[in-house]
Amino acid sequence: MTPWKLPGEARLALSIVVNVEEGSEMSIAEGDRGPEVVDELGVAIHKPIRNYANESNYQYGLKAGAPRIMKLLNEFGITATFTAAAQALEKAPDLTRAIVAGGHEVCSHGWRWIHQFQMDEDTERAFIRKAVTSIEASTGVRPYGWLSRYLLTDNTRRLLVEEGFTYHMDDFSDDRPFWDSSHEKPIVILPYALDSNDMKMWTAPSLTPGDWLQYATDSFDWLYREGAEDPQMMSFGLHLRIIGRPGRIGYLEKFLQHVAARPDVWVATRQQIAENWAAQNPAP
């Protein structure tokens, strides 16, 4: 296993990832062929009409969910990575200012939260560049990481390298960073995790918040245990409109309390983790 030391001799790097997609999802109002089909109710409307109900469901994440999440992050002194669609930040300036004021990292989740994998090379390059320009204008700092919506193309990683990105999240193959040197310039791959993601409570409605918390703490405990010999990384994905609900937010608080009670945990942004890894393990 590749040698890796974490700051303060920590045994686990915890990466808390808050997805900001609200306001950038598919919509007839944005010129898309149909409305957003990702709906907590599981009702997929494929007709070209405005789905006002689902749009309001996403707005809940900005109005009510985000303040609850930001408050918890502040209370626990946590610096997180916000994987944000650029358009979502443009439409939510108050949240954007709070993210910047809290010293959080913004990782690009695309210009909009749409299907990038359907784009040809020129369209995808323009999509990436538009996201960089927008996020830098909104936050004052360009993004260095990228997370696509679901899938990527054969060109995605090469384009990210060409556009100055230093790490990429579209991978689920490990619990530690690694290099991809298949392009002109290497890029750090920071694997993401879907199994502990709060989206499970949308895609698997039978999963209760208590079930999700148990799975998340079990994941944390096992990686923490392994980290005594070789440091590990845990990716913990959240969504404003999901975990920000009053019946769920308390379970995030319980998870953070569980983490805070353990010594030797480095809670860091993904950019910090990528830089730490690259400094100790130069690209091959």
- Classify each residue of 135-166 as buried b or exposed e, where b means 16 or more C-beta atoms within 10 Å of its C-beta: beebbeebbbbbbbbeebbebbbbbbbeeebb
pLDDT value at residue 203: 85
Q: Is residue 2 part of a domain?
A: no
pLDDT value at residue 276: 98
Residue with tokens 């994941």: 219
Q: Is residue 227 part of a domain?
A: yes
Residue with tokens 């998870």: 255
Contact predicate 8/266, CB 8 Å: yes
Task: Count up the domains in the chain and report the number.
Answer: 1
Which CATH number fits the domain that encloses residue 35?
3.20.20.370
User: What is the domain extent for residue 143?
Assistant: 7-280
Q: Is residue 204 part of a domain?
A: yes
Closest CA to 213 of 261, 174, 265, 256: 256
CA 191 to chain centre: 11
The total number of residues written for the chain in this structure: 284
pLDDT value at residue 119: 94
Q: Is residue 163 part of a domain?
A: yes
* Integer Cα distance of 25 and 36 in angstroms: 6
Q: Is residue 1 part of a domain?
A: no
Q: Which residues pair with 166 in a beta bridge?
A: none
Task: Count CA atoms closer than 13 A to 83's CA, side-chain side.
Answer: 24
pLDDT value at residue 135: 98
Q: Is residue 90 part of a domain?
A: yes
* Integer Cα distance of 16 and 62 in angstroms: 18
State if pTM tops 0.85: yes
pLDDT, one tens digit for every residue, the chain (284 residues): 788 999 999 999 999 999 999 999 999 999 889 899 888 877 788 888 899 999 999 999 999 999 999 999 999 999 999 999 999 999 999 999 999 999 999 999 999 999 999 899 999 999 999 999 999 999 999 999 999 998 889 999 999 999 999 999 999 999 999 999 998 899 999 999 999 999 999 888 788 999 999 999 999 999 999 999 999 999 999 999 999 999 999 999 999 999 999 999 999 999 999 999 999 999 98
